[in-house]
Amino acid sequence: MSFFIKSRKRKVAAVSKNAASKPQDQKKKSKSLKNSKALSEEIESESDVDSSNEFTESRDKIYSSEEEEETAQQKKLRLAKHYLSKLEEEEAEKKADEESLKEAVASRLQHDISEQAGKLTKQVADQCSCPKEEDIKIFRGHSLPVTSVVISPDDKFVFTASKDCNICKWDLKTGLKVKTVKGGRKGTEDVHIGHTNHILCMTISSDGKFLAAGDMNNMVKLWNPEDCSFIHKFKGHRGPVTGVSFRKGGHTLYSCSTDRVVKVWNVDELAYVETLFGHNSPITGIDSLARDRAITSGGRDKSVHVWKITEDSQLLFHGHDAAIECVALINEGNFFTGADDSSLSLWSVLKKKPVTTVKAAHNDTGSFAGRENWITAVSALHYTDLVASGSKDGFVRLWKCGPDFKSLKELFKVPVKGFVNSLKFSSSGDFLVAGVGQEHRLGRWWRLKEARNGWCIIPLKSVAAPDT
């Protein structure tokens, strides 16, 4: 597989110019050459003390700055120790004796290793059944197309974002709108806290502490999901932000844009980390899981990139015959993509080409006459065999991944009118949420007048199998 390694430039603290300077004014006051020389030597020796101390401090800053730059191996070791201590703390609350604690930690480690490697797959697709049309709950609340939906980790709330610049928080139990972050007019960015242009994407951290949204103003804004209060805004992209994703289990945020780059942010420090280059066209989507990696779809460059952040490298995948519109990770070893020729592909990170591809997946005629039914959204129930896709053909389709992720079979389709701009599975796998609009989230190529702007809950009537 193709990859490249990019170098990093270290920032080194500048040595103070005053450290090497010597007092010359005292020399001019001496009357004899001998006295001048003696006085000069005496003053220089005193100055050297201060200068030496200042130089030593500056040198220490340089060395400490260099020491702060961890190698990839050192970072892995540090993170592994931190993760192990965290597991021990969690299991210590459950186990009384030391022997039981060791067994519990070893079991957890083995489970997590299998899960991250993609070897642990819960079989839930066969437990799902197609819901009746009257069981699908539809909600209105936005005046323009809904572009993104996310579900809180506890499955109690749904957040929706729209081209009307609003973010809404909904209570899933009552179906009522709890809070609205109101948008403002274009040109009022300096005075209005909310978004002042179309919101294109949104994500929530795995612990539910942060909500991030990207918009047409090239910004990522950070919100508190609890009360929808504003926290911070990240600037740096030179084009509309088309995708955002939090690393699972942490507060590292990845964002992608039409400017063809991926940016990494540290949300805890509210700081920019680095920029990743590699795509040759506007990036259309991004996703991530527990590893220090992100995956992006490159639109018209027909590529998928897996960014290995720690190693400063990337994996490059090609296989679709058309622009890749969306991507979703199933587990750390497999992912799912949709293209604008209505094709869906299932991939393994170990192969450069798709493992399997379904042509004209959202065109029941089986021909390319309905090419405009491109795939607008995909989603996966993590670490399971269940995935979903959406288009503007009037249906959300559920798919089953075959053994070893070598096949893709349609389970059923659910009627949903409009552009399906976003899909998200609940953590439990009991339902699927879809964001729908009259227009595509990134443009206005078509407008479906018969559709309504809103979002819906699609019950799947499945309960995820217990961990094994």
Report how far residue 245's alpha carbon sits from residue 73's, in angstroms, rounded to the nearest whole number: 25
- CA 170 to each of CA 59, 83, 139: distance values in angstroms, whole numbers, following the listed order: 55, 34, 10
SS3 453: coil
Whether residues 43 and 108 share a domain: the answer is no
Whether residues 308 and 236 share a domain: the answer is yes
Burial class of residue 108 (count of CB atoms within 10 Å of its CB; 0-12, 13-18, 19+): middle
Burial class of residue 402 (count of CB atoms within 10 Å of its CB; 0-12, 13-18, 19+): middle
Residue 83 lies in a domain: no
pLDDT of residue 77: 79
Report how far residue 337's alpha carbon sits from residue 284's, in angstroms, rounded to the nearest whole number: 11
How many structural domains does the chain have?
3
CB 301 within 8 A of CB 261: no
Indicate the residue type of 122: K
Report how far residue 431's alpha carbon sits from residue 73's, in angstroms, rounded to the nearest whole number: 40
**For the segment 217-242, what is each residue's pLDDT rounded down to a tens digit?**
999 999 999 999 999 999 999 999 99
Q: How many CB atoms lie within 10 A of CB 100?
A: 12
Phi, psi of 400 (to 5 degrees): -110, 130
> What would the mean pLDDT of 301-325 be, rounded to a whole number?
94
Whether residues 56 and 189 share a domain: the answer is no
Residue 78 lies in a domain: no
Higher pLDDT, 102 or 320: 320
Residue 392 lies in a domain: yes
Structure tokens at 95: 């186990």
Whether residues 191 and 309 share a domain: the answer is yes
Helices (H), 256-366: none
**For the segment 329-351, what is each residue's pLDDT rounded down to a tens digit?**
999 999 999 999 999 999 999 99
Whether residues 145 and 54 share a domain: the answer is no
Report how far residue 236's alpha carbon sits from residue 276's, in angstroms, rounded to the nearest whole number: 13
How many Å from the N-terminal Cα to the C-terminal Cα in the chain?
Answer: 32
Q: What HEC string does 300-324 produce? A: CCCEEEEEECCCCEEEEEECCCCCE
CB 413 within 8 A of CB 397: yes
**For the segment 30-51, what is each residue's pLDDT rounded down to a tens digit?**
444 444 444 344 334 333 434 3
Whether residues 47 and 190 share a domain: the answer is no
SS3 202: strand
Cross-strand pairs, 435? 422, 455
**For the segment 76-110, what is each residue's pLDDT rounded down to a tens digit?**
777 777 777 776 776 666 655 566 667 666 666 65
Domain holding 100, by residue range, is: 88-117
pLDDT of residue 187: 80
Q: What is the H or E stretch that residue 138 is in?
A: strand 137-139
Is it the case that residue 204 has pLDDT exceeding 80?
yes
Whether residues 261 and 305 share a domain: the answer is yes
Cross-strand pairs, 461? none
Whether residues 295 and 237 share a domain: the answer is yes
CB 372 within 8 A of CB 390: no
Instruction: Count Cβ neighbours within 10 Å for each residue of 334-373 and write b for 16 or more, e otherwise.
Output: bbbbbbbbbbbbbbbbeeeebbebbebbbbeeeeeebeeb
Name the nearest CA neighbour of 321 among 297, 295, 302: 302
Residue 224 lies in a domain: yes
Whether residues 312 and 335 share a domain: the answer is yes
Name the nearest CA neighbour of 433 among 458, 452, 408, 396: 458
Instruction: Count Cβ neighbours within 10 Å for each residue of 418-431 and write b for 16 or more, e otherwise.
Output: bbbbbbbbbeebbb
Question: Would you mind telling me the total number of residues written for the chain in this entry?
Answer: 468
Whether residues 130 and 273 share a domain: the answer is yes
> What would the mean pLDDT of 184-204 be, rounded to a whole number?
91
